[in-house]
Chain A
Amino acid sequence: MALPFHSEDYMDGAEAAAVIAAGVGVLAVGAVVPVGAWLMALHWMPCAWVRPALTALAFAIWLGTWWRLRRAWQGRAYAARRVLYWSGGLLLLGWVIGSPLLVWLFPGLKLP
């Protein structure tokens, strides 16, 4: 669906992909803390490489999401407000789970 670039209500698919991928990336990086704590507590994974490995995986998830969404959404128009709300929600969720909140709630866990 071709729309003029100055449309207020719709955003280009490539830009929507970048915004959503940023939210997914932040969520993936935030998930390093709870997933790492879980791996270390239950599966005795060594702290020395849990975080770098999970961080590298999170970066790969972000780039992969961006690449796939860009290919799928290129040339299409998306409701700008909905895209921004979704991305904002993902960013906020990533922030919250990326904090040591889980470790405060469950002191038996260790931070990766």
Chain B
Amino acid sequence: MRFWALVHGIVFGLPLVVLTTLCVADAGRLGKIVPWLGRRRRLLRRRPWQAMVAFAWLTVFSGIAVMYARPAYWMKAPEAWVSWALPWMASWGTMVPITMTACIYLTRRGEEKLVMPVWFRRAVSVLMLVSLINVLVSALLGSVTAQGVFYP
């Protein structure tokens, strides 16, 4: 199970970090929010925003499943986590799909506008920044935890 937790971190966590970083990098140019990956992968090219929303939520739900399907691997005792970083990571990590979904929704609405108000750019930028910081801190805490879990 520890191996699968590592695989989950690599398969889902790493692309989410890359996606969020690219989204933030593109936030200043609304309408071009689809990252460079979208131009190379058919699914992201055909259904860009659906794929991003699904990915943001799949990461969190699969993480919850990994953590709670086998709690014995993550907890030393019924009420003691292997690392303090784990619940912190889960707390801030679950905020990401909420902010990303709002971002993607606002971006899609923004694409329909002819003129982009300043507040619209600010709203999307702030939400993107929240997502990025949360993803990066969660990844950092997750890596700290992984060290404790995989090399006790």
Contact = CB atoms under 8 A, between A and B. Distances in A.
Interface of A: 5-9, 11-12, 14-15, 18-19, 21-22, 25-26, 29-30, 32-33, 40, 46-49, 51-52, 55, 58-59, 62, 80-81, 84, 87-88, 91, 94-95, 98-100, 103, 110-112
Q: Which 10 A-B pairs have the closest CB atoms?
A: A6-B115, A22-B102, A80-B119, A25-B98, A111-B87, A98-B91, A47-B79, A26-B95, A29-B94, A8-B117
B126 to A, nearest CB: 6
Contacts of B91: 29-30, 32-33, 98-99
B68 A52 contact: yes
B7 interface: no
Nearest to A103: B84
Nearest to A100: B88
Interface of B: 64, 68, 71, 75, 78-81, 84, 87-88, 90-92, 94-95, 98-99, 101-102, 105-106, 109, 113-120, 122-123, 126-127, 130
Given A15-B106, A80-B119, A95 B84 contact: no
Contacts of B123: 15, 19, 84, 87
A87 B119 CA distance: 13
A100 B116 CA distance: 39
A62 to B, nearest CB: 6
Contacts of A58: 94
Contact of B84 (A5, A18, A46, A100): A100
B118 A8 contact: yes
Contact of A18 (B90, B105, B114, B130): B105
Nearest to A49: B68
Contacts of B114: 5-6
B41 to A, nearest CB: 27
A68 to B, nearest CB: 16
- Most-contacted residue by chain B among A29, A30, A100 (CB, 10 A): A29
Contact of A22 (B68, B81, B99): B99
A18 B106 CA distance: 8
